[in-house]
Chain A
């Protein structure tokens, strides 16, 4: 399996030689409850190997999706890259430097938006900007906030609180907040998972539009094949957990900028979709079978 294929959107030759994120033999074990006390009370559990020996290289300015059956450790992998969780073994390098803790060089978009309900749309974004760039003038901070509100199309909703806007709008705020700190990498954990189908499609188009403008390296966890095909340059397919591995990495050849119709009419679309469906059905069926036999 060739892991270091350069992406079609990679223009800069300097950056082609080194990958931005590099995972080597990354495993994560969630320790079980041990010790005599737990054994005595019958609460002892064994260790759980979530992901096993993951090797992955992500080049600059590529959009990578990670797809796999539920419970396969996709989110674990993303949390490790974000620095919110640490790997049990293996090395995680970003621009050649090991990742030890979370930092503003990685912007995170959360599945359930994670907006502060006591802050307005504007203040949620401003909080991120102020935290990351405390030294720049308030005027400049306001400019950044305004610019990103415009970018995600939320002009007019600046003063509203999260509970006053729809789920789709909340996730726009989430995306604006992640981008406003000007991260090198955008991490998205099932960003459209909590949205209804129509809003979801609409927001996918928006993310495609925004990504064409920003061209940041992006890693997205998803369950949706169509979503992955519309947005990504590469799709990482993971096997079922426990001990989830990378099964295959697909290159998505569609030209950019993309839109739904041209992507779906591309000659390679159906074949890629079929391949992914087969993979996901196979893995999901195996997960169900494992559950039944337990």
Chain B
């Protein structure tokens, strides 16, 4: 016993700051980041990259400037990145909400019926792999309005993963839960709301998470063609041929994407309840 205790104590001593996995990972991350920035800075100064490629220090300076002055408005071609971000988020929010409001109930209806899921599956499978930008001309033709078209593109892009996942989740609810509801004599409506939907919730949320990811991917591309928003910001800086701001925008889009994804990761965790019981 005493030997084991000593060993444990020794291990604990060794488990200092440097032994911790997370600390190690953080150090490696910081080291690689430093290396990357140094390579970038030196490479740009030595003109190793494309002509006009900005240095890391200039880009970081721009990043600092844009993030400390997010909200100014000097007309559509000189808008603070905070405004552009809010414009993009608003479009995503509207389009995504419309898509989810349609996709979840429709998915539940389709998932409940075996026949319906088989009959309608070809539509979803056909439309799912189509790039959302392919809808752009159709949207512009139908709505004659760039704002509505942007929202339409987001909606049409983000509807499929939620719809397919919801239908799958509902169709694959454990028969045990349904047997419980049946032996209790639960009504169809009560079974759907109290058993089927909660049981399918993990699938529904992961569908919503994929949809959100797609919306955020698509909005940038769509906005390049629509004016205003983060996508347009990049397009505008491309026309100005000012590369540092493009890199700043890419970084900000990435960060916002992480935040949006993590919100859904948290929701997923909330509804998983560990293993099945």
Contacts and interface: CB of A to CB of B under 8 A. Distances in A.
B201 interface: yes
B13 interface: no
A128 B176 CA distance: 14
A284 B198 CA distance: 42
Nearest to B271: A118
A108 B179 contact: yes
B273 A131 contact: no
Contacts, number: 72
A84 B274 contact: no
A181 B184 contact: yes
Nearest to A174: B180
A44 interface: no
Interface in A90-119: 101-104, 106-108, 110, 112-118
Contacts of B201: 118
A127 B194 contact: yes
B179 A116 contact: no
Q: Counting chain A CB atoms within 10 Å of each CB, which of B179, B181, B190, B277 scores highest?
A: B277
Nearest to A115: B277
B184 A104 contact: yes
A164 B275 CA distance: 9
B189 to A, nearest CB: 12
Contacts of A116: 177, 180, 195, 198-199
Contacts of A82: 183
A260 interface: no
B183 A106 contact: yes
Contact of A107 (B181, B183, B190, B276): B183
Contacts of B185: 102-104, 131-132
A206 B194 CA distance: 30
Interface in B157-195: 174, 176-177, 179-186, 190, 194-195
Nearest to B184: A131
A163 interface: yes
B277 A132 contact: no
Contact of B179 (A110, A131, A164): A110
A223 interface: no
Nearest to B190: A131
B273 A110 contact: no
Q: Counting chain B CB atoms within 10 Å of each CB, which of A84, A104, A116, A128 scores highest?
A: A116
A148 interface: no
B187 to A, nearest CB: 8
A131 B190 CA distance: 8
Nearest to A105: B185
Given A116-B198, A163-B274, A110 B182 contact: no
A117 B183 contact: no
A234 interface: no
A162 interface: yes
Nearest to B274: A163
B182 A117 contact: no
A273 interface: no
B183 A108 contact: yes
Given A117-B275, A117-B277, 6 more contacts: A84-B179, A102-B184, A104-B185, A114-B177, A115-B277, A162-B273
Interface of A: 82-84, 101-104, 106-108, 110, 112-118, 127-128, 131-132, 161-164, 170, 181
